[in-house]
Structure 1
Amino acid sequence: MTDESANALAAKALHDAMCDAMVNGDVAELDSILAEEFTLTHMTGYVQSKAEWLEAIDAGQMEYHRIETVEATFNSEGTVPGLTARTLTDAMIWGSRATWRLTLRSWFEPHGEEWAVARTVASTW
């Protein structure tokens, strides 16, 4: 298996683990797979720190009910591997519940011998 293939599999596995942890409200799991300086840029453009996002999930201000990944594409251009995933995300965010068609673009960084999610940007598709 090439390094790029291994990185693609690792990125997809991290994306899946992140989505599962979001649906399960598992902030401990999210904390373990997100880089310390992780940020989530919401479709509104709001940039949220890891600590603030995890606190919002833990407090029930952000509840993810279902995330279906429709398509995922690995990108190894440049120095940081990335994954672009089109999802159907059923969530209640700050009191508004809907199923959003989100594109989640995530970038990864080394974390010991593993990878961590460094940043995710959400937009609609």
Structure 2
Amino acid sequence: MSAEQFYHAMNHAMLQADTAAIARMTTADFTLTHITGYRQSRAEWLQQIENGQMRYFNMAEESVQANVKGDTARVIGRSRTAAHIWGAQGTWPLQLDYQLVRENGQWKARQAVATTY
């Protein structure tokens, strides 16, 4: 899978609430920084997806850019994201900025930072 394909696959996993796939696509030390600035561990994020505190309904992808350098990559994707996050439901212009590393031939996210655009 290419770095750009990673973005599409992660969105699909989020929409399906497929925490097993998300776990496979992230490193053990993965963190997600939300648009609020809150930095969340992989374990906490996956738990909140599983218990319904975070539900993703639709991600209308608008753009994705990848910059690959050897076994690292930066992928920036933009989508109109409909979700229910910590009690708030809405559709946000969400940009996800992923820092990827290649482990055993597979791209994995080490960090993601969410902002609006």
Establish whether TM, by shorter chain, passes 0.5. Answer: yes
Which one of the candidate residues 18, 27, 34 is aligned to 2:19?
A: 27
Map 1:5-20 → 2, pairs under 5 A: 10-20=2-12
CA RMSD of aligned residues (A): 1.5
SS of corresponding position for 1:81: strand
Which of 27, 46, 49 pairs up with 1:54? 46
Given the two structures, how large is their TM-score scaled by the length of structure 1? 0.88
Instruction: Identify, as 1 or 2, the structure richer in strand.
Output: 2
Give 1:111 deviation, angstroms. Answer: 1.2
Q: Whole-Å Cα distance in 2 between the matches of residues 26 and 111 of structure 1?
A: 20
Matched, 1:41 2:33: yes
Instruction: For 1:124 and 1:18, locate their aligned partners in 2 and report how far apart those are by CA, in whole Å.
Output: 18
What does 1:1-125 align with in structure 2 at a 5 Å threshold? Answer: 10-76=2-68, 80-125=72-117
* Percent of residue pairs bearing the same amino acid type: 36
Distance 2:18 2:44 in 1: 15
| Alignment coverage as a number of residue pairs | 117
Higher CA-based Rg: 1
Q: How far 1:76 moved relative to its partner?
A: 3.4
CA distance in 1, matches of 2:5, 2:71: 20
Structure 1 stretches of 4+ moved >6 Å:
none
Contact persistence 2:48–2:54 (CA under 8 A): yes
Higher helix share: 1
- How high is the TM-score relative to the length of structure 2? 0.93
